Amino acid sequence: MFFIYSLLTHIARFVLNIIALFSPKIKLFVQGRKNVFTTLAQQINPQDKTIWFHAASLGEYEQGLPIMEKVRALYPNHKIVLTFFSPSGYEVRKNTRAADVTVYLPLDTLANAKKFMHLVHPDMAFFIKYEFWPNYLNELKKANVPTYLVSGLFRPNQAFFKWYGGFYREAFKAFSHFFVQYDNSKQLLNKIGFTNVTVSGDTRYDRVSEILERDNNLPFIEEFINGNVTVVLGSSWPKDENLMFDFINSAVNVKFIIAPHTLGEDHINDINKNIHRQTVLFTEKDGKNLAEYDVIIINTIGILGKIYSYADVAYVGGGFGTAGLHNILEPAAFGVPVIIGPNHNKFPEAVALVQMGGVIAVNDKAEMEDALSSLIYNDDYRWEKGHIAGTFVSMNRGAVNTIINYITNEHPTV
């Protein structure tokens, strides 16, 4: 089976090199991996002690960050090596201070896994949420490296739990311990013979709760809002925005902050073209009286978390497409009621918050406008929904302490 898997991986590499000629994102995926081993050789010495964290993309990085920060404090003599699979994670966080070395993860061939392990020689390894690469896991197991899954999330329809999933089940033996989000994930692992499982919860609750304690002041946002009810569209896609343009254009005494998921010039121009109110771009705000504007488009990255602290209502994008719902816990942590699209059933926090009433799921434009109107113009209703959201986040904290307590008991020093 390893032969077939390795053959498919080499075929995938060949195909990706062709697709890279036509796709900027795949080009980053391919080009970014060309110098990984050179970078590792330059930045990690044979005598260095290291701890390896792997995140598929940006969301998994955010989940792993509080663990990374705690591990750095506990083991200050170790270098933290962070790998990403996706360009959307690496390109945004390649300069993060949370790690000493940040690179793409080379494709999961046996040769790559062996070379990576030789250069990094980790004392511990952490995989965030998912991404199970058999060759890397097999090399970790052969080297007896303590390996942990953090914020794991499993579903019955995944290959690991099917009759044909033995190949991946074998790879799972590399994990010293699984820290999963929910009991149903633990039960699934138990059914295939893995009892080294703890239901720790989702580290994102700890992560977003930490944001509350940071300085979230953005004076330009305060000037823009000028005391008005404010709606934030966070990580929005065109499908999300198209449902909201008419409402934005007709709303009275309401300010709108739009932070699109993609910041391409064509996308920003399209948003601008469809909004018929006073609109300003973040990059053009200096020198303007922002209080005179109704809409500000955030055509930059890195400040959406702080912007949510100013929201009265948040719409979080991704729920009308197939790419996946974006992070609803950031606005929820601030006690902000959240609106999302219908495609959210793979996100347990969204399902739970919809059931509890802290999040409103809408299916079309009419439902979107009804939800916005109810939240904007009914203060008590808005406060009630926001209170549910904020309480939900607060009550689900604690995953980081559970994981770190286990790690420190197992590895007082490494």
CATH number at residue 363: 3.40.50.2000
| CATH number for the domain harbouring residue 192 | 3.40.50.11720
Per-residue pLDDT, averaged over 71-91, amounts to 94
Residue 413: band (very low, low, confident or very high) from pLDDT cuts 50, 70, 90 = low
Instruction: Give the pLDDT confidence score for residue 3 in this predicted structure.
Output: 64
More confident residue, 30 or 66: 66
In a domain, 1, yes or no: no
Per-residue confidence band for 263, with pLDDT thresholds at 50, 70 and 90: confident
Q: Could you tell me if 345 and 304 lie in one domain?
A: yes
Helices (H), 174-312: 183-191, 203-212, 219-225, 238-242, 245-250, 265-274, 304-308
Tokens at residue 366, please?
A: 């009419």
Domain co-membership, 261 together with 356: yes
Residue-averaged pLDDT of the chain: 93
Q: How confident is the model at residue 117, as a pLDDT? A: 98
C-alpha–C-alpha distance, residues 259 and 132, integer Å: 32
Query: Within this chain, do residues 230 and 333 fall inside the same structural domain, yes or no?
Result: yes
Residue 1 is predicted with a pLDDT of: 64
Whether 122 contacts 52, CB under 8 Å: yes
Span 339-366, pLDDT tens digits = 999 999 989 899 999 999 999 999 999 9
Check residues 17 and 257 and name the one with the higher pLDDT. Answer: 257
330 is catalytic: no
Of 114-118, 150-154, 199-203, 207-211, the range with the lowest mean pLDDT is 207-211
Instruction: Give the pLDDT band of residue 414 (cuts 50, 70, 90).
Output: low
Same domain, 66 and 133: yes
Question: Averaged over 232-237, what is the pLDDT?
Answer: 96
122 in Cβ contact with 92 (< 8 Å): no
- The predicted structure's pLDDT at residue 49: 97
| Residues 276, 145 share a domain | no
Q: Report the candidate in 194, 132, 137, 202 with the shortest Cα–Cα distance to residue 351.
A: 202
What is the Cα gyration radius of the chain?
A: 23
Dump pLDDT digits (tens) for 288-319. 999 999 999 999 988 999 999 999 999 999 99
Does any domain span residue 8? no
Are 224 and 338 in a shared domain? yes
* Residue 11 forms part of a structural domain: no
> Quick check: 241 pLDDT over 90?
yes
Read off the pLDDT band of 19 (50, 70, 90). confident
What CA–CA distance (Å, rounded) separates 177 from 194?
9
Contact of 312 with 229, CB cutoff 8 Å: yes
Give the span between the Cα atoms of 205 and 214, in whole angstroms: 15
Q: Which segments of 98-253 does DSSP mark as H helices, in order?
A: 110-120, 134-142, 166-171, 183-191, 203-212, 219-225, 238-242, 245-250
In a shared domain, residues 392 and 281: yes
Candidate list 60, 62, 330, 349, residue with the active-site label: 60
Is residue 206, in this structure, part of any structural domain at all?
A: no
Q: Which residues contact 106 (CB under 8 A, 6 or more apart)?
A: 33, 36, 37, 112, 115, 116
- Quick check: 297 and 282 in contact, CB under 8 A? yes
Mean pLDDT in residue range 371-389: 97
Q: Tell me the pairing of strands 313-316 and 338-340.
A: parallel
311-334: average pLDDT: 94
pLDDT at 21: 77
Question: Same domain for 220 and 188?
Answer: no
> Does residue 395 have a pLDDT over 80?
yes
Q: What is the mean pLDDT of residues 376-401?
A: 96
- Identify the DSSP state of 233: E
Q: What is the mean pLDDT of residues 9-18?
A: 78
Q: How large a percentage of the chain has pLDDT more than 90? A: 78
Per-residue confidence at 2, pLDDT binned at 50, 70, 90? low
Residue 88 is predicted with a pLDDT of 82
356-364 long-range contacts (CB < 8 A, ≥24 apart) are 356/388, 356/392, 357/384, 357/385, 357/388, 358/332, 358/385, 358/386, 358/388, 358/389, 358/390, 358/391, 358/392, 359/328, 359/332, 359/389, 360/385, 361/319, 364/243
Inside any domain, residue 4: no
Nearest of 51, 53, 46 to residue 75 by alpha carbon: 51
- In this structure, the answer to whether residues 383 and 323 fall within a common structural domain is yes
- Domain residue limits at 223: 216-396
Residues 317, 256 share a domain: yes
Q: What is the pLDDT of residue 354?
A: 97
Domain co-membership, 192 together with 231: no
Give the DSSP H/E element, type plus range, for residue 281: strand 279-281
Specify whether 187 is located in the same domain as 288.
Answer: no
Which residue, among 49, 60, 64, has the nearest Cα to 121 in the 3D structure?
49
Whether residue 14 lies inside any domain: the answer is no
Q: How far apart are CA 327 and CA 409, in angstroms?
A: 32
- What is the model's pLDDT at position 323? 79
Give the least confident one: 16-25, 134-143, 245-254. 16-25
Q: Is there a domain that residue 12 lies in?
A: no
Q: Are 319 and 341 in contact (CB under 8 A)?
A: yes
Counting the structural domains of the chain, the total is 2
Contacts within 8 Å (CB) and 24+ apart, 373-376:
375/312, 375/313, 375/337, 375/339, 376/229, 376/231, 376/251, 376/254, 376/312, 376/313
Cα end-to-end distance, the chain, whole Å? 34
| Confidence band for 16, pLDDT divided at 50, 70 and 90 | confident
Is residue 118 domain-resident? yes
